[in-house]
Structure 1
Amino acid sequence: YTILHDFPLFHHVDELQKTRHRILRFHRDMPSRFAVVPRHGQPEEIRWFEFEPGYVLHMANAWEEGDWIVMDGCYQPDPTGTRRSDDGVLAGMLGYFRMRSYLKRWRMNLVTGECREEDLDDLNVEFPLPDTTRYGQRTRYSYHQHLPLPEDLHTLEFHALVRYDHEDGSCQRFDYGPGISGSESPFAPAPNAGAEDEGWVLSLVCDKQSFESQCWIFDAREIARGPVARLRLPARVPAGFHAHWVSGESIWASA
């Protein structure tokens, strides 16, 4: 299946027509909707499911369990951001990067149409990644970035690496340290790995004082212990959002 997201966050039509300014509005009186689209089906087979209003920037994964589709992601109950009265235009735009987001699960029953949703934690996290070779299959672990709370009035920074166990609800956390910001952290499976978490998690970190960048490598099973290796990079890599792991074998095979 393909799952399309229809969240109640969209441009205000009247203001767009009057001013030609695209101003996002969050409509709390409208539900979040997910459309489950059969990949090889027909339009009439599309199923819609409604949930609490909100917004999701990134999903962690989705899979099938019998008649159910299960989807985990980082849910924002109010995506309009946090602004101060003295914010200028640019600061107001950056306010959208002050977000409150936590791990949530949605369930959709394709037979009965039943909807269920539950909070998996309340820690402020985003940019979730499981073992991406298992997308579409049930995954137990995901790796997230901890964000400052909106009331701290920071822009988007990654303060810590967090590992979630989606089965028992536990998590591990490692704080990068003062002045250091990490990146979205992909999982690199060990060669011939058996267990889902047998491998490493990588984060490109940037020191805001020295402007030095490093690649920190974590044992995926023991995130809280800190990096098992720190690789100094020959050039600064500016703080960014996304990262992906690709094995050397895959690169050479497609060359």
Structure 2
Amino acid sequence: MLTLIPAFQDNYIYLVHTPHGLWIVDPGDDQPVLEYLESRQLRPTAILCTHHHADHVGGVRALVERYDLPVFGHGSRIPQLSHPVAEGSLEIDGETIQVLEVPGHTLDHIAYLWQDHAFCGDTLFAAGCGRIFEGDPQMMYSSLQKLAALPDSTQICCAHEYTESNLRFATAVEPENPTIAERKKQVAQLREQNHPSLPSTLKEERQSNPFLRCRETDVIRAARAHGARNDSDVEVFAALRRWKDGFR
């Protein structure tokens, strides 16, 4: 079972309820997590961090001090890191987790796969992807393709409520895509009721996320109109990402 805890303006912190544990994924802020746990008399068993940005790790120190938790992450910039991980499998509370290295947004970004859930931080968003802060388009595109190879049923547990704005961009890229139009309606209804639009499924992303559709004719055409120099996947992706960076 998942619990999504809103934080800041648009972050989500995930609580993952397993048979023998309770994990906190990307706790950018400790206060809403502590309020939730203490009001229900729950005790977490681990912290999982996808990358080092403050809105993902800002609450780690206080939660470790409160609960003496192990902290899993990749690279040297995760605060209180006790269990460094790399691509491969690990076990937490008797549960097997797959770690994928997905650099691009940051060089040390990872995703965690547990059952049919992908906790992908700021790499793949619902209908979008993260900005490229430390990597390059080839690196980010390769990371997205790694996630895109997962099964259709995979639950995309990304870290921000960006879906409506991402779908506006997706509509600009593919105005004739009926799946995008229908998804916009569904997401608008959820947000009007103050419900999260997440998680999505990888099937939805393949059908309506322009950054996973770089081989589609209409997406290539739109990218060429916004600076793509050729039709290669990476060039189309790079043009889309530059366009999205300035899209309002």
Q: Whose Rg is larger?
A: 1
TM-score scaled to structure 2, two decimals? Answer: 0.26
TM-score scaled to structure 1, two decimals? Answer: 0.26
Indicate the structure whose relative CO is greater, using CA pairs within 8 Å and at least 6 residues apart.
2
